[in-house]
Structure 1
Amino acid sequence: MKNIKSNTPIGPDTRTRIIEAFVQHVLETGREPVSVFKFAQSLGIKEEEFYTYYTSFLGVKGGVWEQIFERTVAQMEAQPVHASYSAREKLLAFYFTWIEEMKKNRSYLLALYLQPDGFKKAMPEELRGFKAKFQAFANELIVEGKATDQIAERKYISDKYADALWLETLFILQFWLKDTSPSFEKTDAAIEKSVNLVFDLMGKTAVDSLVDFAKFLYQSK
């Protein structure tokens, strides 16, 4: 493995340095590191210091996803118009900003997650932290949407709205990983149509959006 020692003193930024070194290793080799000992050595830290921050490379991969989420929200909320957005517009803004953040790590994400049939499992284990953060964000949008009548309160179903938005997030991620269209135009369309569909399903009208989205998926095969 390439030696990536840094003159930067070990300190509060060690967690970030571990994440950056992990991503760099995947970019250079096409796979994640095998040995924590060798990885820590290349970073200029002791193995036990690695375990201060992460117990395994699975944790590091989770850290990458949480970092992407946090940067997405920071970028989105930094926009002056964000506060005036409706719940639907905030979800659209999240997804578009999220894609922009993921573009910065596309080669890394493709190396680890692009599979002929999508993810090897329904959801990679390392996405759990990202999922928790996203669902907290989604629940805020749902509360806001109900308050403004964009989202309908439905007995037994309303509690599943955040789960539906998470499934949409996984769909968008896998769609983007496979997207080869110029400037990821098809992903942009998938985001718009899926957000419109999910908000119509949570709202009072759904038929038109469902037909439009089904047509889009058929034409994108």
Structure 2
Amino acid sequence: MESATTKKTAKKDFRKLILEGYKNHVLEHGTAPKSVFKFAKDLKMKEEEFYAYFTSFDSIKSAVWIQIYEDTISQIESQEVFKEYSAREKFLSFLFTWIEELKKNRSFLLSIYGEGSKGMLSLPKEISDFKDKFKDFANEIILEGKETEEIATRPIISDRYDEAMWLQVWFVFKYWLDDRSPRFEKTDAAIEKSVNLAFDLMGKSALDSFLDFAKFIYQSK
């Protein structure tokens, strides 16, 4: 009788087979498979077996994005020093590590997104789960930043900080797709400059200090 552990391992390997098979097909042919039936047949499985793991090719692409995200989080959280980082440093660490994980899939990502990267204004639907997970991570950073006063709390605007950080992530991805510099040096510079600008804007500015002072003077009358 097959044990539960064996079944779990088999299931995990089968899912991996589909993921790797899809990526290999895209890399070899430059496009997604034409049909689930043909793709499953090439992997020597039945079509209904494919649907036990994924509902569509878009769901496979979504799983690739989630895997890259989870590998990134695993990498940064395995470093003891990460816990001591400021909010700005944590976001920088995420982006630099995320780019390293993206590099492992660059040919695949270029095959899917490379041609239309400049005109990719709307978010592809397979990115939505990754976006949700990232925004949860971003909100943790934002909360820590507010507690240490590295990030200023502002009416209405504060509620959009996570979306602003997501836009940076998407900007970095599109920039990296088009980056042809050695070792992607321009992407590294773009990350550092954009994050520094974002945290300067989210931090307490001279304008905030002036408004606080004006409020103090008004209330002191």
TM above 0.5, yes or no, is yes
CA distance in 2, matches of 1:117, 1:78: 32
CA distance in 1, matches of 2:206, 2:33: 46
CA distance in 2, matches of 1:100, 1:21: 22
Alignment of 1:69-148 (within 5 A): 69-115=69-115, 118-148=118-148
CA distance in 2, matches of 1:121, 1:55: 26
What is the CA distance between 1:77 and its match in structure 2?
A: 0.9
Which structure has more helix as a fraction of its residues?
2
1:26 aligned partner: 26
What is the CA distance between 1:41 and its match in structure 2?
A: 1.5
TM-superposition CA deviations, 1:58-112 (whole Å, max 9, x none): 1000010000000010011111211111111110000000000000000001111
**Which aligned segments of 4 or more residues in structure 1 are displaced greater than 3 angstroms?**
none
What is the CA distance between 1:185 and its match in structure 2?
A: 0.4
Q: Report the CA distance shift for 1:70/1:103 in structure 2 as closer, same or farther (over 3 A).
A: same
CA distance in 2, matches of 1:37, 1:126: 21
Q: Is the 8 A contact 1:69 1:130 kept in 2?
A: yes
Unaligned runs of 5+ in 1: 1-8, 208-221
Q: How many residues align?
A: 199
Q: TM-score, normalised by structure 1?
A: 0.86
Task: Give 3-state SS (helix, strand or coil) of 1:13's partner.
Answer: helix
Q: TM-score, normalised by structure 2?
A: 0.86
CA distance in 1, matches of 2:206, 2:174: 24
Q: Is the 8 A contact 2:25 2:31 kept in 1?
A: yes
1:175 aligned partner: 175
* Structure of higher CA gyration radius: 2
Whether 2:59 is the aligned partner of 1:59: answer yes
Q: Is the 8 A contact 1:21 1:43 kept in 2?
A: yes
CA distance in 1, matches of 2:24, 2:69: 19
Q: Is the 8 A contact 2:73 2:94 kept in 1?
A: yes
Q: Is the 8 A contact 1:113 1:119 kept in 2?
A: no
Unaligned runs of 5+ in 2: 1-8, 208-221
Q: Is the 8 A contact 1:197 1:206 kept in 2?
A: no
